[in-house]
Amino acid sequence: MHYLLALLLALAPTPTPSTCTYDTWTWSVVARRAVAHQHVSKPYAQVTLRERAPDWTVTGCTLCREDQEKVAVTGMPPVLVCRYFAPRIEEALQAAANAGARIETLVGYRVGRSGGPVVRGKRTQFGWHAFGEALDINPNANGLYHHCQRNTPAPRTEAELGTCRRRLGGFWRPGSQPASSLTPDGAIVAAFRRVLGWHWGGERIDTMKDLMHVSPDGY
């Protein structure tokens, strides 16, 4: 009887949360730090369009902490990601680890206006992390690079980074640190492509290569 009850509870759809809470900030490109910190707490029914992910109609992902769920790989502290993606993110991470990848550090859900056009020195839009739809994996071995040449393919070697310069995180050294590095053919990027259809930040074709990052479109 208890087993049946547990089964029914597991099959029931997740009820809509009653509240929406999150802490946010805005990135100042002038000060090069987060400013305008704000704590939001309100009835869930008041969640606005801007607080919903671009793919909300399918995923239900929002800025709300209540829509995030913990995922963990063996031996790692759990991270929060959007509930819709959580089981498959866990599957991808575990598949990558089983294939020999070393998962050392993870950053998932992180609310802040860190993207989009700059208005009066500040960023204006929420990126995928804010909705729990992105992961930064091993940032110490997979930096964020800028000043890259436009329209260049995902790099396979350090030499293919060309004019890119490291801006955040550690140097990317796939030759000497293959298990910790994200690469186009490596276990981590392959697992996220296969399980979720997600893209690597190294596939960006603007002037940035975000080598620690995976998300629905790589941005």
Name the site residues for Zn ion (rule: CB under 5 A).
134, 136, 213
| Least distance in angstroms from the C-beta of 129 to Zn ion | 5
Cβ 114 vs Cβ 127: under 8 Å:
yes
Residue with Cβ nearer Zn ion (64 or 79): 79
DSSP string, 70-104: EE--TTS--EEEETTTHHHHHHHHHHHHHTT----
Q: Read off the DSSP letter of residue 216.
A: S
Residue with Cβ nearer Zn ion (143 or 186): 143
Residue with Cβ nearer Zn ion (113 or 213): 213
Nearest in space to 120 (alpha carbons), one of 29, 33, 38: 29
Nearest residue to Zn ion, by Cβ distance, number only? 213
Cβ 145 vs Cβ 211: under 8 Å:
yes
| Least distance in angstroms from the C-beta of 200 to Zn ion | 11
Residues 77, 106: Cα–Cα separation, whole Å? 9
| Least distance in angstroms from the C-beta of 16 to Zn ion | 28
Residue with Cβ nearer Zn ion (42 or 107): 107
Q: State the maximum Cα–Cα separation within the chain, in Å, rounded to a whole number.
A: 64
| Least distance in angstroms from the C-beta of 137 to Zn ion | 9
Residue type, 42: K
Residue with Cβ nearer Zn ion (182 or 195): 182
Residues in the chain: 219
Cβ 67 vs Cβ 17: under 8 Å:
yes
| Least distance in angstroms from the C-beta of 160 to Zn ion | 21
Residues 32, 39: Cα–Cα separation, whole Å? 21
| Least distance in angstroms from the C-beta of 80 to Zn ion | 14
Structure tokens at 200: 């690597």
Residue with Cβ nearer Zn ion (186 or 202): 202
